[in-house]
Amino acid sequence: DAGITQSPRYKITETGRQVTLMCHQTWSHSYMFWYRQDLGHGLRLIYYSAAADITDKGEVPDGYVVSRSKTENFPLTLESATRSQTSVYFCASSSPAWGETQYFGPGTRLLVL
Amino acid sequence: GESVGLHLPTLSVQEGDNSIINCAYSNSASDYFIWYKQESGKGPQFIIDIRSNMDKRQGQRVTVLLNKTVKHLSLQIAATQPGDSAVYFCAPAGGNNRLAFGKGNQVVVIP
């Protein structure tokens, strides 16, 4: 049972490049979330999705784009990466049937040069 | 927005002693609370949860206490072990299946 996976685990890119971070879950959870984690800020919500084709902004959505064409996938795209987007990105999923607990992936460490 | 804070940024505890991590929250409408543990280089991991109709819940070596009157919860870890070294987050439910994460509290276990 793979649960929730993220790829790549590590990524180095340059300012201005487009980067897509992948998230895949095998539980058929309806909700999926993207967070970034930076020292001094804890976990901040970027975008979330209640179901396929339904997405909504979180606290810090600027500079990011998401899509959810399939329930199990929730990719996060940085259309033009900036140094301030250097961070650790976590994907999570949850299901109303399982309560509001979110289950997290292992994270993607992104460095923008 | 939600204000979630932890009173102690770093807690150093001797192996075998009990640990207590505190968390204050601001949204009185929160009715569900989760504690997560995050080890270095990993994603947050669910430890224990509690609903607002309870004031105490116990798990394996962990106990969560909820005081809705003062909007405070705590996580107690019994007989702390080296594997308990991590950052601990409390996360009140914020509606729409969203959680409000605090900045975390580092626990360092001294062997």
Taking an 8 Å cut-off on Cβ atoms, the answer to whether A100 and B45 are in contact is no
Q: With beta carbons under 8 A apart, name residues in chain A contacting B104.
A: 42
The confidence score (pLDDT) of residue A1 equals 57
The total number of structural domains that make up chain A: 1
Tell me, what CATH number does B37's domain have?
A: 2.60.40.10
**Tokens at residue A68, please?**
């959810």
Q: Sign (positive/negative) of CA torsion A67, A104, A36, B72?
A: positive
Mean pLDDT of chain A: 94
CA distance B69 to B106: 26
Taking an 8 Å cut-off on Cβ atoms, the answer to whether A43 and B101 are in contact is yes
Question: Which residues between 23 and 42 in chain B have a beta carbon less than 8 angstroms from any beta carbon of chain A?
Answer: 32, 34, 36, 41-42
What is the DSSP-derived secondary structure letter of residue A100? S
What is the DSSP-derived secondary structure letter of residue A73? B
Q: Which of A72, A46, A62, A22 is nearest to B101 (CA)?
A: A46
Q: With beta carbons under 8 A apart, name residues in chain A contacting B46.
A: 101, 103
Q: Which domain holds residue A98?
A: 4-112
Amino acid making up residue B91: A
| Minimum CA–CA partner of B98 in chain A | A100
pLDDT in tens, A1-20: 569 999 999 999 999 999 99
The total number of structural domains that make up chain B: 1
Confidence of residue B4 (pLDDT cuts 50, 70, 90): low
Tell me, what CATH number does A61's domain have?
A: 2.60.40.10
Q: Which domain holds residue B11?
A: 4-110
Is the per-residue pLDDT at A24 higher than 80?
yes
